[in-house]
Amino acid sequence: MPGGYPRGPQPVSGGTPQVPNANPYANPYMTPPAAPGPNYSTAPTYNAAPTYGATQPYNPAQPYNAAPTYGTQPAQQPAYGQNYTPPQYTGQPVNAMQPNVAYQPQQGSLPAPPADAMSGLGGGITPVTPGDPGFQPRTNFPPEVLNATPTPLDVFVEETRTGQFMFGVTVNSNAGLIGNIVISERNFDIMNPPTSWDDFAVGRAWRGAGQGFRIEAQPGTVLQRYLVSLTEPYFLGTNISFDSSAYYFNRVYFDWTEARVGGRLGWGYRLTPDLSISTSLRAEDVDIINPRVHGVPELDRALGHSDIFSGKVALTHDTRDIPFSPTQGHLITASFEQAFGEFSFPRGDFELAQYFLVRQRPDGSGRHTAGFITKLGVTGSDTPIFENYFAGGFSTIRGFQFRGASPKSGGVTIGGQFQWLNSAEYYFPLTADDMIRGTVFCDFGTVETSVALHPDQFRVAPGFGFRINVPAMGPAPLAFDFAFPVAQADTDHKQLFSFFFGASR
């Protein structure tokens, strides 16, 4: 029968079933008839084929424990005798999701299933889901459900740790040995100062507004940098981000020593998930001391203290999959800055970094990546020496000393007002776990004192290197590169090996 209810033929009036010994009607809606009717708690034993006549006793040959299957053709009613009329059912089959739709027998003596059939999952009944045809949600829930008193539920959550303390060390061929100490808080609140010592003890002070606060100290052998910054992701309740920073910077270059004290204010807005625009203001006091050579005009006019103020606007489009060691996507940045004060000059920069995924293993590991980076920059004629462009070293053109591929005057590296730097690189795994990768590259480009390209100043340096990813030592991989200049200027200083090594905890 459709829907699995009822199962097995039923006795007609006048039939005399034998004593049952098992229940062939495995249906939760079947209830034994009142005495002295037959007992259906056990299945009856039948020894002869059923005969359905007006005077013949009911004696089926075997119990029907399931609806008959009639092959691929539509189910047909079995022939039970000329005087037997099988019951006809109307309505939809009973199931657990439609408890109020039941069989309505027109003939026969089977009782209808109970009204509440929510527990009727037995007897071959198949539940339906809300997506099935004919689904009807239940509306007549029992009173004990409708009148139940809601149970109050208390949910306790604990905020994750938002503060962080890190320390580490960095060694690279550009800046020597540098320490790194960082204290940061990602849920800072500048408007929530402590009111008692207990606020410090339990960590309530300066917390709760989702701001970012960072203190960073980088003491080193030739470079020192100290910074305090505050970031507000929703400036004045808007979708505009705000960041501010104050810093001190000191660097011992080969030709002079430079110290900067200043601050920045910046605002940013994300136009799309990948496109953002930002603007910033900068104010610095720059002090140039300890010149190695006197008499070079570009260096002499920058000696002492100089005040620099500037405004900058930048547009950034970033689709890289990983900020460190990306394998696909691009980073495009275009910016314009106008400086004024003791020196007044404009500055425009454009940078494109494009990465292509060449191949990978089926599980996404073992990625081969091709990358291309180009940097183009132009600055005004009144630009001081400490704001010029320089090339040479790990982050620009490998195969040369830090700033060793830059224009010189009187033996002093003075840099230039125009740069065009490029790098083509191919990365590939050397170990199955991708911990060690190899790279082959070619860096090329130039820095010029004016906007021009001179063949005798163009540098080309192919090479190879290794990248080692150590998660415990920070996100940036260890880098070791060997480059061999094949085109250079007469005044350049070569350095075949460059490296970057950093660790933080």
Q: Please classify residue 22 by burial: count the beta carbons closer than 10 Å to its beta carbon, then call 0-12 exposed, 13-18 middle and 19+ buried.
A: middle
370: DSSP letter: E
Closest CA to 305 of 289, 327, 281: 289
Query: Phi, psi (5° rounding) for residue 457?
Result: -105, 0
Residue type, 214: R
Number of Cβ atoms within 10 Å of the Cβ of 433 = 9
Q: What is the pLDDT of residues 466-501, one digit of tens each?
A: 999 887 776 778 899 999 999 999 999 999 999 888
pLDDT in tens, the chain (505 residues): 444 433 444 444 444 444 444 444 444 444 444 444 444 444 454 444 544 444 445 455 544 444 444 444 444 444 444 454 555 544 444 444 444 444 444 444 444 445 444 444 444 445 555 555 555 666 666 776 667 777 777 777 666 778 888 888 888 888 889 999 999 999 998 988 888 888 777 778 888 888 999 999 999 999 999 999 999 999 988 999 999 999 999 999 999 999 999 999 999 999 999 999 999 999 999 999 999 999 999 999 999 999 999 999 999 999 999 888 899 999 999 999 999 999 999 999 999 999 999 999 999 899 999 999 999 999 999 999 999 999 999 889 999 999 999 999 999 999 999 999 999 999 999 999 999 999 999 999 999 999 988 998 999 999 999 999 887 776 778 899 999 999 999 999 999 999 888 655 5
Spatial CB neighbours of 328, under 8 Å, sequence gap ≥ 6: 320, 321, 355, 356, 357, 369
The count of C-alpha atoms lying within 13 angstroms of the C-alpha of 498, restricted to the half-sphere facing its C-beta, is 23
Q: Which residue spans within 17-124 are E strands per DSSP?
A: 89-90, 104-105
Domain covering 259-289+303-504, topology: Porin (2.40.160)
Q: How far from 190 is each of 301, 308, 472, CA to CA, in Å?
A: 42, 29, 32
Cα distance between residue 320 and residue 464, in whole Å:
23
Q: Which residue spans within 85-219 are E strands per DSSP?
A: 89-90, 104-105, 163-172, 176-188, 211-218
Return the domain boundaries, the chain: 1-148, 165-252, 259-289+303-504
pTM over 0.95: no
Closest CA to 4 of 65, 55, 73: 65
Q: What is the pLDDT of residues 312-356, one digit of tens each?
A: 999 999 999 988 889 999 999 999 999 999 999 999 999 999 999
Cα distance between residue 493 and residue 491, in whole Å:
7
